[in-house]
Amino acid sequence: MPLLKENHEFWTRVKELAQKNIKSGAYEYFIDPAQLLSIENDTANILVESSFHKDYWRKQSDLISTAGFEVFGKPISFSLYAKDELTAPELSKLSNDQNFKDETEISREVPEGLPLLTGLNGKYRFENFVQGPGNRWTLAAAVAVADKPGDTYNPLFIYGGAGLGKTHLMHAIGNEILTDNPTAKVKYVSSENFVNDYVNATRKNQMENFENTYRNLDLLLLDDVQFFSDKEGTKTEFFNTFNTLYEKGAQIVLTSDRIPQELNNLEERLVSRFSWGLTTDITAPDYETRMAILLIKSEASALNFPSETLSYIAGQIDSNVRELEGALNRVEFVANANHVTRVDIETASQALRSLKSQATQSLSNLTIKRIQDETARYYHLSISDLIGPKRPKEIAFPRQIAMYLVRELLGTSLPAIGNAFGGRDHTTVMYAYKQISDKMKTDIEVQKDIDSIKRKFL
C-alpha cells in the first residue's frame, strides 16, 4: 500500500492539475468536493457527490494518470463511488475504511523549512462568495487586496454582524494570494489563538519562534479582534507585530463585529492604525442575494430544489447567512428522511416549522444535565470524566463542546456553567466557548459533532 504521504501528494497534484485545466465553476462543483478514499492495487478509489458527478469524473482519466506518473512513476486507474448510489451503511463503511483523508487545511512550507500552518480553509473562495448590496464594496476591497497585497488598502478592516461572510472573505484573500504565489507566507488566526500562541511561546521560552512566525509573514489575517485579550503583554506584542509587518509592506486584514473606535479592549495607538487603510462593513443580505446563495449551495445537493422552494427558504431566514445554510441543510435532512428527491415548499415548510417549533419545544425541556449526558455518550465518556478535573485532550475537548452547547442552547451564564462543570472558573467557560465558536467556522469535524449532538435534542 503506498505511503499516506504519497497518497496526499497524488491527490493534491490531481487537484492542482484540475485547477489549471478546468474552469473554476466546474472545478468548485465537481472536483473540489470529491474525496480520495484509498489507493489499492494501483487504483484510486474516489468518492463523489452523485452519479451526475461520476459522469464528469469519468472524463478526467488524464488528470489521474498524469498525477499517478508524477507521484508513483506508474499508471494509476480509478474507481468512482457516488454518494447517492450508496446506502447509508455502505457509505459509512467506505468512509471508515478510507486510509487517507483529504485535508481541507492548506499547509505550506516556508522557504527556511519551518512548517507554517496557514490556518486557511480551501473551500472559502471568491468564486463561491455571492455578491450583493450588503457586501459589494467589501468584496471589491478584498479582491483588490488579494490582487496587490500590501499595496492597496493596508490594513483592511472588515466589520459586521454574525454569519455575514467576514471570515469567508478573509480565507478567500489568503487562498487567492497563495494560488498566485504558493510560497507566500500566509497565516489566518483568530485573535484568541494569536494570544494563545503568544502565551505558549512566553511560557516555553520560544519567543524567537513566535516572532519568526508572525513577523515574517506576507499576509496576516486576524479574525474577531473584538475578542483580543486586554492583557498588557499580548497587546504590546500585537502592536509590535502590526508595526513590523506594516513597515515591511506585508498585508494585514482584520475583522470585528464593530468599528475600530468601539474596540475598548485595544489601545488607542493601535486602533488609530487600523484606520490607516480601509474600514468597510458587511450588512445582511437582501432577498436576491439570499436566493443566489441558496442556489449555489443547493446545486451541490443530490436533491432537486425548485426555485419556489428556495424562495420560500430565503423568505424565512433573512439576517444571517450561516443560519440560511443551516436551514437548507435542515430541509435536505428532512427531505432525505422522507425519501423525497424533488423538494417542494410543503417539505421545506415542514422542516423549518419543525425546526422552529422543535427548537422552542424541546429546548424548553432541555437541561444542563441532559446536554452533559448526551455529550458524554457521544464521545464515549463517563459523566464524572466530563465534569471532573481530568485534563487530557480526549476529555477536555468534549467538555468544551458541552460547555459551548449549554451556552448556545440554554444561554446559561458563564459562572453557572462553571459551577455545573465541577466548579470551574467562568474564564475557563469563556475560553471553551470561544475555542469551539472559532472551530465551528472552519472545522468540518467539529460542525458535524455539534450537529449530531444537537439532533438528539430535537
Ligand X SMILES: Nc1ncnc2c1ncn2[C@@H]1O[C@H](COP(=O)(O)OP(=O)(O)OP(=O)(O)O)[C@@H](O)[C@H]1O
Residue list 422-451, contact with ligand X (CB under 6 A): 441
* Spatial distance between the Cα atoms of 176 and 251, rounded to a whole number of angstroms: 13
Phi, psi (degrees; rounded to nearest 5) at 164: -105, 5
Total of residues contacting ligand X (CB under 6 A): 19
Q: Does 404 bind ligand X (CB under 6 A)?
A: no
The C-alpha cell that represents 418 in the structure block: 462553571
Q: Of the ranges 5-13, 16-24, 64-72, 319-327, which one interacts with ligand X (CB under 6 A)? A: 319-327
Least distance (Å) between residue 429 CB and ligand X: 19
3-class secondary-structure state, position 318: coil
Has 248 been labeled as part of a binding site? no
Least distance (Å) between residue 440 CB and ligand X: 9
* Spatial distance between the Cα atoms of 185 and 178, rounded to a whole number of angstroms: 8
Contact 84, 302 (CB under 8 A): yes
- Of 8, 322, 390, 426, the one binding ligand X (CB under 6 A) is 322
Q: Does 38 bind ligand X (CB under 6 A)?
A: no
Q: Does 325 bind ligand X (CB under 6 A)?
A: yes
Q: Does 168 bind ligand X (CB under 6 A)?
A: yes
Has 423 been labeled as part of a binding site? no
Phi-psi region of 188 (alpha: psi -120 to 50; beta: other; left: phi over 0): beta
Please give the angle made by the CA atoms of 175, 178 and 181, to the nearest 5 degrees: 155
Q: Which run of H or E residues covers position 44? A: strand 43-48
Q: Does 162 bind ligand X (CB under 6 A)?
A: yes
Q: Does 227 bind ligand X (CB under 6 A)?
A: no
Which x/- pattern over 121-140 shows residues binding ligand X (rule: CB under 6 A)? Answer: ---x---xxx----x-----
- Of 68, 149, 163, 418, the one binding ligand X (CB under 6 A) is 163
Give the neighbor-by-neighbor strand order of the sheet with 278-282: 186-190, 219-223, 251-256, 156-160, 278-282
Q: Does 165 bind ligand X (CB under 6 A)?
A: yes
Q: Does 327 bind ligand X (CB under 6 A)?
A: no
Give the neighbor-by-neighbor strand order of the sheet with 43-48: 35-40, 43-48, 77-82
Has 233 been labeled as part of a binding site? no
Detail the residues annotated as belonging to a binding site for ATP. Answer: 163, 165-167
List of residues contacting ligand X (CB under 6 A): 124, 128-130, 135, 160, 162-168, 257, 293, 321-322, 325, 441
